Structure 1
Amino acid sequence: MLQQLKSWRRRRVLRRHAIADSLWREVTAALPVLQGLEAGERERLRELTTLFLHDKDFYGARGLEVTPAMALHVAVQACLLILNLELDPYRDWSTVILYPDTFVAPREETDEAGLVHSSRHELAGESWDGGPVVLSWADAAPGASPHGPGTNVVIHEFAHKLDMQTGSANGLPPLHRGMSVQVWSEVFTAAFEQLLRQVGQGRETLVDPYAAEDPAEFFAVASEYFFEAPAVLRHEFPQVYRQLVLYYRQDPALRAGAPGGQCDPAIFPAPGTPC
């Protein structure tokens, strides 16, 4: 009975709150990350996005007016992550907040002596456990990629949301049946430590060095590259890429016309870099 009620509610929402064709075409055409999706995938993505927009409230901060196109732009990318996972990972929160630009968030950290240190950080995005996703529209808007190819603040913050399902962001989201926590941990730990060494030695990295902050950031950044520049991630960390294929139940590198799917000189600066 419960499943029948859920199915009825889903059909009702999809019927009553359908996204206008013109708006859908306008927004999705401006998102290269969607290139290569098959017709069935696009239909499923549209359904998930419709349900997401119905379930979540969007608010603008500092006087920003959130238009339907802006909300759809964020929602469709959020739902790309869960294209083959359904909406359950996003169930325990309800709000997306958009700032016009970067915003300042207070932080408190306790040192080894037990002293609490307060600081303020300028952010382009933030995810709260059980709370909102907060984004800078200047960093999330169509065409924005302030930190170079492969980066996407929307995907980054919603990857944190997936990670937080276990109660904290630690780089280990709940895995599907048949996936190994041990294998995941070994693969991600090895890749994280490799990147940490590269950054510590001052070497240039194909993956954003911000991923070396901690395991949670490594997972979020790896998720950005998985969708935005799959060839980069598959080349740099092939085992991480394989684990993300299993987790997201997608393989973006195989999609025709996918961004970062070829040896793009903007991404692979060295001629002849293998994909």
Structure 2
Amino acid sequence: MWGWLRRRPRAPDLPDALWQATLARYPFLAEREPQELVRLRDMSAQFLARKEFHGAGGLVITDEMALAIAAQAVLPVLHLGLSWYDDFVGIVVHPDEVVARRTTVDDTGIVHDWDEVLAGETMEGGPVMLNWHDVAHAGSTAETGFNVVIHEFVHKIDLRDGAANGCPPLPSRAARLHWLAVLEASYARFCEQVKVAERFGGATPWLDDYGATALDEFFAVACEAYFVNRSRFTKDFPELTTLFDGFFRPRR
């Protein structure tokens, strides 16, 4: 695996056939501007040089799989830099979704156990967990705005300040207040849409309703759609497209 990378440790360069196959499989990557594609290719190679991939459940990680994950993970930091991901090294990839056993104790001391189905998971300062089934189908699920890789890596960006609150580190208090004001207003409207759809038979929102579970999940779900289906996302959330552009595509 990655023999091409080991041979060129100081200036990694992705094999052209491998890169072109990745762009063909994930059209939302190929939609970038030419200069962005050059940067995406270079940063994907750098990402592969810095991270370690581990297959779980008997899954064998191939070059094609690793690059698919790398290229999608790089999208959110394409204009920010890979240092935003420097708090971890490991990426664990399962064949499919994972069932995790959860335990919590309520205010009365009663213990509750339940099973949670996970498409992916991010741990602060720890590895990122993904499932290959959803990664492999990211090209087609872009139509619905779904992308598990971007979702989990946006959580990493959110957690850079130590809090999962839907707000990445920003340069000033004013910037933070503006960010939260815009995001929270969009979140409130979306939660109301989900509620009306579920309880009263209203129109089902296009964006994944998982985003209504918490503000940090709304941020991650919104970013998925923003990066893989910008035009459709903007129809519902023009104010978030403007907000995200200011952060993810800062003017130099």
Q: TM-score, normalised by structure 2?
A: 0.88
Judging by fraction of residues, say which structure has more helix: 2
Contact in 1 for aligned 2:147/2:228 (Cα 8 Å): yes
Who is 2:162 aligned against? 167
Cα pair distance change 1:206/1:134, threshold 3 Å: same
Correspondence 1:32 to 2:27: yes
Q: CA deviation at 1:22?
A: 1.4
Runs of 5+ consecutive residues of structure 1 not aligned to the other structure: 1-11, 252-275
Correspondence 1:69 to 2:57: no
- Aligned positions of 1:1-275 closer than 5 A: 13-15=9-11, 17-143=12-138, 145=140, 149-176=144-171, 180-202=175-197, 203=202, 204-249=204-249
Q: Matches of 1:128 and 1:145 in 2, distance apart?
A: 27
Secondary structure (helix, strand or coil) at the match of 1:108 reads: strand
Contact in 1 for aligned 2:48/2:70 (Cα 8 Å): yes
Question: In structure 1, what residue type is equivalent to 2:69?
Answer: V
Contact in 1 for aligned 2:211/2:218 (Cα 8 Å): yes
Who is 2:3 aligned against? none
Q: TM-score, normalised by structure 1?
A: 0.81
Q: Matches of 2:192 and 2:172 in 1, distance apart?
A: 33
Contact in 2 for aligned 1:96/1:133 (Cα 8 Å): yes
Cα pair distance change 1:243/1:116, threshold 3 Å: farther
Q: Matches of 2:75 and 2:142 in 1, distance apart?
A: 21
Cα pair distance change 1:176/1:13, threshold 3 Å: farther
Q: CA deviation at 1:148?
A: 5.9
Q: Matches of 1:144 and 1:210 in 2, distance apart?
A: 20
Q: Matches of 2:131 and 2:247 in 1, distance apart?
A: 27
Secondary structure (helix, strand or coil) at the match of 1:138 reads: helix
Contact in 2 for aligned 1:103/1:122 (Cα 8 Å): yes
Higher mean C-alpha displacement, 72-81 vs 43-52: 43-52
Q: Matches of 1:140 and 1:56 in 2, distance apart?
A: 17
Q: CA deviation at 1:229?
A: 1.7
Contact in 2 for aligned 1:14/1:51 (Cα 8 Å): no
Deviations 1:16-44 (CA, angstroms, capped at 9, x unpaired):
x3221211111122111113322221111
Cα pair distance change 1:18/1:188, threshold 3 Å: same
Runs of 5+ consecutive residues of structure 2 not aligned to the other structure: 1-7
Contact in 2 for aligned 1:27/1:69 (Cα 8 Å): yes
Q: Matches of 2:235 and 2:250 in 1, distance apart?
A: 17
Who is 1:3 aligned against? none
Deviations 1:124-179 (CA, angstroms, capped at 9, x unpaired):
11111111111110111145656962111111111111111111321111125697
Contact in 2 for aligned 1:149/1:228 (Cα 8 Å): no
Q: Matches of 2:134 and 2:17 in 1, distance apart?
A: 24
Higher mean C-alpha displacement, 119-128 vs 51-60: 119-128
State the percentage of identical aligned residues: 38
Q: CA deviation at 1:223?
A: 0.2
Q: Matches of 2:18 and 2:237 in 1, distance apart?
A: 37
Higher mean C-alpha displacement, 46-55 vs 174-183: 174-183
Please give the root-mean-square deviation of Cα atoms over the aligned residues, in Å. Answer: 2.1
Question: In structure 1, what residue type is equivalent to 2:160?
Answer: Q
